[in-house]
Structure formats: structure tokens, C-alpha cells
Amino acid sequence: MVKKLSIADIANQLNVSKSTVSFVLNGRAEEKRISKELVNRVEKFVKEVGYTPSPIARGLRTGKSNIIGLMVESISDPFFADIAKLVESTAYKKGYRILYCSTDNDTEKTRALIEVFRERNVDGCIISPPVDVGSEINALIKAGMPVVLFDRNLPDAGADYVEINNESSAFNAIRLFIDQGFKNIAFITFSSLQTQMLGRLSGYKSAIGQEGMEAHVLEIDYNPDEDSMIKTVNEYFSKNKNIDAVLFGAVQAGICGLKALTQLGLKIPEDVAVISFDDHDVFKLFAPPITAIAQPIEEIAGRIISLLLERLNPGQSHSQSQKIVLNTEFKLRRSHVNKHLLLGKV
Amino acid sequence: MVKKLSIADIANQLNVSKSTVSFVLNGRAEEKRISKELVNRVEKFVKEVGYTPSPIARGLRTGKSNIIGLMVESISDPFFADIAKLVESTAYKKGYRILYCSTDNDTEKTRALIEVFRERNVDGCIISPPVDVGSEINALIKAGMPVVLFDRNLPDAGADYVEINNESSAFNAIRLFIDQGFKNIAFITFSSLQTQMLGRLSGYKSAIGQEGMEAHVLEIDYNPDEDSMIKTVNEYFSKNKNIDAVLFGAVQAGICGLKALTQLGLKIPEDVAVISFDDHDVFKLFAPPITAIAQPIEEIAGRIISLLLERLNPGQSHSQSQKIVLNTEFKLRRSHVNKHLLLGKV
């Protein structure tokens, strides 16, 4: 392994003082009246040897911790685990460490964790918030802490946020079913007042309502005991044998739903056609592969970090909060197809 | 929502002083010569009203942060995400918060994160370490930081650790294949010097060696670009058409493997029988369901926390490090069965 270069090594090689190198690297060359020629020499050398300043050392100089706190709803949810991983690797390249934690969608726990991050002196926070922590988040922002929300917004919080077009994604999925002639289209989702879940429900209802069709909504109470959620879905399909298509409102609802349909021996898409929010290995490898509304995970992670870095760089910052809404992508596989339509039975 | 009781509320209700309540709750009653009768009254009342002391307030009194740092290899790996979630919820019930981060199996990053945790004043660390951070971990322990390792051990670190019986689990999986008459049994795994991966490889080689069979080992270099790993597995099966059974050495190897086998149109178990380390929704929902070597995730998380809490409670602590080895469970499904044997063709 090559020994990492220090500022002293660079100064030595260029035959200048350590403080000169340090001023150049910290953007204080002009203030310190260091010649343009010398700045160029230092920058060229640093680029050649691939020197990156130690975030901890920089933190000691700047009073910043170079640590970002990331709060997700549940780290064992594959959507959040993927986002956390991508946010972390993107931030790491920019010299930031990420510490994460799960809120379990528990307001008290979230408040306590916000305190933990504040006390630990993080530079900024990224949060997928439960519904009623708006005032805590506003207090954080007021105290000068940059905050970016994602996945769901808090209407009463003045934070930057990144989300997807939940309403139109659900609307388009239901249109895909309607246009193929499905008649009894269900929406199975988690019971939630979060904005993204309300958006998905609203998209479903608009599409169904436009056609004068009957809405069939099952809202499951999230339960860490998956078997009880599978049972709920199982009972729903057992009692509602007319359902011929279903949109699952989140990845974990989709996985529970596939387990319930498998238990019942119902064929996809012959007995029930399926689309699920979020993409997952289970959907790719299921027989038949499940059509999914994929979130642009990499773009979400990238935008979150960009928004936060803008706030962390006071020169570029501005007071108004930014809202970024990204588009989902339909992964059209085989589970949403109306086989009867293809066979001319409708 | 019920307002949370404070120590002042309890003191008020019991008509005693706040400091009396505080001493009882902090286990200092004897030291402060508080009568057994009064201790009982306070404890009974606290139990009735379900009071739990605020960890932050307790931290201010004790100088402890009540925060535990958890470092996993990659939070987007479902095994680590599940462990992190369970460790967090178990610790939360005991009054501890967990902050986690991913090492990406990168030694430099791990060293930096160990520094982050140390500077943030965490009370203890739980780490699934890359191979060469033994000296950093010993330095942490020497500085008085309780450390528990899991998933893999560092032979040169004197830390407590929790792992599974990797060698015998792999051995038994291969025996299951051999006893059914499979002749060309492959082991597809990640290239790694970590103890758990060496243990699995060694178990495979023992079982194969005992029978005088030829070893077929494919070690994939882990790559965040999954497609390149799938391609490697795909090419391996294309070139080695005699392979009739395969053990995948980790959940992500198993998922890549199933994708490769699906691409190749190979039937499981007719063309290739399959067992994978770790259990996952993909294995449960695949057609046919995949036989898995399930790690006892809940017990692993429970033991990690117990070991750490023992170290955090100096009264119970002891100098010798503890090694806990837990048993895996075979989830016998349909992918490991020799159909030819069943049909009397062998």
C-alpha cells in the first residue's frame, strides 16, 4: 500500500511552507496573497499525486465534523437499505461519513435520534420522517442544521426534499390494468398518513373513479411479524374472489402479497394480475417476473446529497427550500398482462 | 398521547424527594442508605406507571452517551440489514441508540469510521470487520471501549465475537448432495480471506475430499456491478456442463447464481441442484423454493447485545474475551433434491 501523502510531504516536494500548501488547499490563497503561479503549482502537483485531504484533519480546522446523519424508516426495508448504501458511497467520495439509524416510524424515537445527531455535532441530516416531527425539523433548520427529507414530505416543514411522482405512477399502473380490460382492480398497501402513501392512494382512486369503477382498497397495518400481514392479504383474496388485478403500494406489501397468492395457489397473471411499487430481486426472479414501478434509487441518492452539499456550502446556499420530484420507471415484465385478453376471451 | 412521567412527577406522587427517586433508579440506594421499604415503593410505582428513564438524561448524569456504534460490511446486504435492524430494536429496549455505518470491507474506511465512533463518544462498538483491522480493534479495546465482533472473527484481535458454525454447515450441505448421488458438486462463493468464508470453503473441501471427489470452486471477486458477477457465474456453468449440484457461499452469491441459472434456462433441481448459505425472500418465493442454510439472525443479534451489555456493566465484566458459535438451520425446500434418484435413474 502506498503511504498516504501529508501536507508536509507536499510542501517538502514543492519546496514551499506547509502553511502555503494548506492555504491553497483550503481556498485561502487569495486572502493570504499567495501568487497565482504558486497556486497553480500546488494544485497541479496535488492533482498528479491524487492527494485528498483527511476529512478529520479538515474537520479540526473548520470546526465541521464532516459527518452526515441519515434517518430511514427501517434499515431492513430493502428500499431504504439501497438508498442508505448509495447515499453513503456518494457522500464518502465527497469526504463525508454517514451515520445512519432507523426511526421505526416512531415519533418519540425520531425526536430522540434528532437529539443524538445534534449532540454528536453532525453537519447535516437526511431524514425519511414519520408524520408528526415537523416542528422538530423546523427547529433543527432554525438552529442552522441543513436538512433534506426524502421518500415523503412533511407539509409543515420547510426542508428541502426529494420524492417521486407517487400519484401519477399509481394512476398509470391502474390505467395499464384498465386498458387491458381488468374489472376489479385492488390496491393493497400499508395504512399510513405519509405523503407518498397518500399520493399513491390518490392516484389509484383517480384512475378507478374516472372509469366509474368500484374501489377495492386493503390497508394493512404494518407489523414486524410478517406472517400476520400475509394472513391479512390471504383472507382478503379469499373473501374477494372477484379481484382480477392488484397494485401493491410498497415493496414489502408486494412481497407479502406474493407469499399470500402463492399460499392460495392463485396463478399470476391468469387468476390475478400484479404490479408492485418498488423493484426488488424477488420481483425479478419470481415466476412469472413481476412488473414493478421502479424508483430511480441512484438519482434519489444523488439528488439528496447534492441538495445537502449545497446547504453545507454557505456560498451557494439560499433560503428557499427546494422540492425535487423524480419520475419512476415501469419495469414491464409478465405479471400485469391480461392473458384472457391475449387469448381473445374478453 | 400520555405525557411522559418525569422523575419530579414520580417524586411528587410518592411524596419523596427527586434525589431519592433518582438514587433508587440509578442503583445507588444502598450507597445512599435509602431504606429497603422505600426502594420497594419507588420500584413498584415505576413498574406500575411504566416509567423508563430518558437515556439522554441518564447520559448526562453518568457521562455515558448510551450510543452504540455498529459497523457492517454493507448495509444493502440483506443479512447485514436484518442484523442491524434486530440489534437496533434490542438495544433500544435497553435504553441504547444505535448508529450504523458500512465499511464496504475497506480497511482505510473502517479505520476512519472507528475514529468517528471514538470521537463521537460511543459507549461500545459492534463490528463485522475487514481482515486487517486487528490492531485498530485491539487499540480500541485497550482504550477501554467494549467491542463485539460478528459474522467473522479476527484471529489477532482479543474481542468478544459471535459467529455461526460455518465449516460444519458447508460440510453438511455437501453431504446432503453426496448422499443423494450427486457427482460434480460445485462451491460458488466470494473470493475472501475472512474467517467465515474460509470456514465455509474448508467445510466444502473436507466433504468432497473424504469421498475422493474432485473440487469445483468458483471464487467471484465481489463487484457492486451485479451484472458482471452474474456473467462470471453464467460463464462458469456454460464451461462446466458436468456440474450437477452447487452450494452458494453467501446470499448475494446465491441471488447472482439464480439469475445466471435462469438466464441459461437450466432447471433446478433437474439440471443443477441448489443450496445457498443464508435465507432470503428470493429463496422462499423462487420456483422451486431454494433450500437454504439459515443463520439464526435473532439469536445472533441477541447474543451480540448481551455480550456488549456485559462489557458496558463493569460489575459483570471480565477480562477474557468470549467466543460464541451458533448453529445454522437447514431450511429444506425443493431445490436440493436429486430428481433422478427419486425416479430410480441412478
**pLDDT of amino acid A29:** 80
Is A84 in contact with B76 (Cβ distance < 8 A)? yes
Is A97 in contact with B113 (Cβ distance < 8 A)? yes
Antiparallel, parallel or unpaired: β B67-72 and B97-102: parallel
Which residue(s) pair with A71 in the sheet?
A: A101, A127
What residues of A are in the B interface, CB distance below 8 Å? 55-56, 67, 74-76, 78, 81-82, 84-85, 88-89, 92, 97-102, 104, 109, 112-113, 115-116, 119-121, 255, 258-259, 262, 280-282, 284-287
Query: Between A57 and A52, where is the model more confident?
Result: A52
* Domain residue spans of chain A: 7-53, 66-164+297-326, 166-295+330-342
The answer to whether the A66-164+297-326 and A166-295+330-342 domains have the same CATH topology is: yes
Q: Among all residues of chain B, which has the CA nearest to that of A79?
A: B76
Q: Which of B55, B75, B112 sits opposite A84 (nearest CB)?
A: B75
Yes or no: is domain A7-53 CATH 1.10.260? yes
pLDDT in tens, A82-96: 999 999 988 988 889
Cis peptide before B269 (omega within 30 of 0): yes
Q: Among all residues of chain A, which has the CA nearest to that of B258?
A: A285
- Do A153 and A313 contact (CB within 8 A), yes or no? no
CA separation for the pair B324, B161 (Å, rounded): 6
**C-alpha distances out from residue A122 to A47, A69, B2, B120, Å:** 29, 6, 31, 10
* CA-wise closest residue to A250 among A144, A106, A143, A128: A128
Across chain A, what does the average pLDDT equal?
89
Query: Between A61 and A231, where is the model more confident?
Result: A231
For residue B276, how many other CB atoms are within 10 A of its CB? 30
Question: In chain A, which residues have their Cβ closer than 8 Å to the Cβ of B281?
Answer: 255, 280, 282
Question: In chain B, which residues have their Cβ closer than 8 Å to the Cβ of A92?
Answer: 109
Question: In chain A, which residues have their Cβ closer than 8 Å to the Cβ of B255?
Answer: 281, 285
Q: Which of B85, B126, B223 to mutate to test the interface with A (most CBs of A within 10 A)?
A: B85
- Do B261 and B244 contact (CB within 8 A), yes or no? no
**pLDDT of amino acid A53:** 57
Cis peptide before A296 (omega within 30 of 0): no
Question: In chain A, which residues have their Cβ closer than 8 Å to the Cβ of B98?
Answer: 101
Q: Which fold has domain A66-164+297-326?
A: Rossmann fold (3.40.50)
The minimum CA-CA distance between A119 and chain B, rounded to whole Å, is 9
**How deeply is B344 buried, as exposed, middle or buried, from its count of CB atoms within 10 A (0-12, 13-18, 19+)?**
exposed
CA separation for the pair B72, B151 (Å, rounded): 9
3-class DSSP state for residue A182?
coil
- Do A106 and A135 contact (CB within 8 A), yes or no? no
CA separation for the pair B112, B102 (Å, rounded): 11
Q: Which of A68, A100, A114 to mutate to test the interface with B (most CBs of B within 10 A)?
A: A100
Is B81 in contact with A76 (Cβ distance < 8 A)? yes
**Angle, helices B78-93/A78-93, rounded to nearest 10 degrees:** 100
CA separation for the pair A88, A305 (Å, rounded): 9
B329-331 sheet: strands from edge to edge: B216-220, B185-190, B245-248, B273-277, B291-294, B329-331
pLDDT in tens, A155-213: 888 899 999 999 999 999 999 999 999 999 999 999 999 999 999 999 999 999 999 99
**pLDDT of amino acid B303:** 96
**pLDDT of amino acid A93:** 86
Cis peptide before A288 (omega within 30 of 0): yes
Is A285 in contact with B255 (Cβ distance < 8 A)? yes
Question: In chain B, which residues have their Cβ closer than 8 Å to the Cβ of A255?
Answer: 281, 285
- DSSP-assigned states of every residue in A38-99: HHHHHHHHHHHHT----HHHHHHHHS---EEEEEES-TTSHHHHHHHHHHHHHHHHTT-EEE
3-class DSSP state for residue B169?
helix
Cβ neighbours of residue B14 under 8 Å, at least 6 residues apart?
A: B21, B41, B42, B45
Q: Radius of gyration (Cα) for chain B, nearest Å?
A: 25
Q: What b/e string do you get for B306-342 counting C-beta neighbours within 10 Å, with b at 16 or more?
A: bbbbbbbeeeeeeeebeebebebeebebbbbbbbbee
Angle at A53 between CA A52 and CA A55, to 5 degrees: 120
Note down pLDDT in tens along chain B; length 346 residues: 334 567 778 888 888 888 888 888 776 787 778 888 888 888 888 777 766 555 444 554 566 788 999 999 998 888 999 999 999 988 988 889 999 999 988 998 999 899 888 888 899 999 999 988 999 999 899 888 999 999 999 988 889 999 999 999 999 999 999 999 999 999 999 999 999 999 999 999 999 999 999 999 999 998 888 999 999 999 999 999 999 999 999 999 999 999 999 999 999 999 999 999 999 999 999 999 999 999 999 999 999 999 999 898 866 556 788 999 999 999 999 999 998 766 554 4
Cβ neighbours of residue B279 under 8 Å, at least 6 residues apart?
A: B251, B292, B293, B294, B295, B331
The CATH number that domain B67-164+297-326 falls under is 3.40.50.2300
- Do A99 and A314 contact (CB within 8 A), yes or no? no
pLDDT in tens, A110-166: 998 998 888 888 999 999 999 889 999 998 998 889 999 999 999 888 899 999 999
Is B97 in contact with A74 (Cβ distance < 8 A)? no
Q: Which of B112, B120, B282 sits opposite A281 (nearest CB)?
A: B282
- Do B126 and B69 contact (CB within 8 A), yes or no? yes
The CATH number that domain A166-295+330-342 falls under is 3.40.50.2300
Question: In chain B, which residues have their Cβ closer than 8 Å to the Cβ of A281?
Answer: 255, 280, 282
**pLDDT of amino acid A58:** 52
Question: How confident is residue A1, by pLDDT bands cut at 50, 70 and 90?
Answer: very low
**B164 backbone dihedrals φ, ψ, rounded to 5°:** -110, 170
Chain A to chain B, count of Cβ pairs less than 8 Å apart?
104
**pLDDT of amino acid B199:** 97
Is B120 in contact with A67 (Cβ distance < 8 A)? yes
Q: Which of B74, B99, B284 sits opposite A85 (nearest CB)?
A: B74
Percent with pLDDT over 90 in chain A: 62
How long is chain B? 346
Mean pLDDT of the A255-263 span: 98
**pLDDT of amino acid A25:** 77
- pLDDT higher than threshold 60 for residue A282: yes
Is A101 in contact with B102 (Cβ distance < 8 A)? no
Antiparallel, parallel or unpaired: β A291-294 and A329-331: antiparallel
Q: Among all residues of chain B, which has the CA nearest to that of A92?
A: B109
* CA-wise closest residue to B98 among A74, A224, A7, A211: A74
Is A112 in contact with B56 (Cβ distance < 8 A)? yes
- The DSSP symbol for A132 reads T
**A28 backbone dihedrals φ, ψ, rounded to 5°:** -110, 20
**pLDDT of amino acid A315:** 66
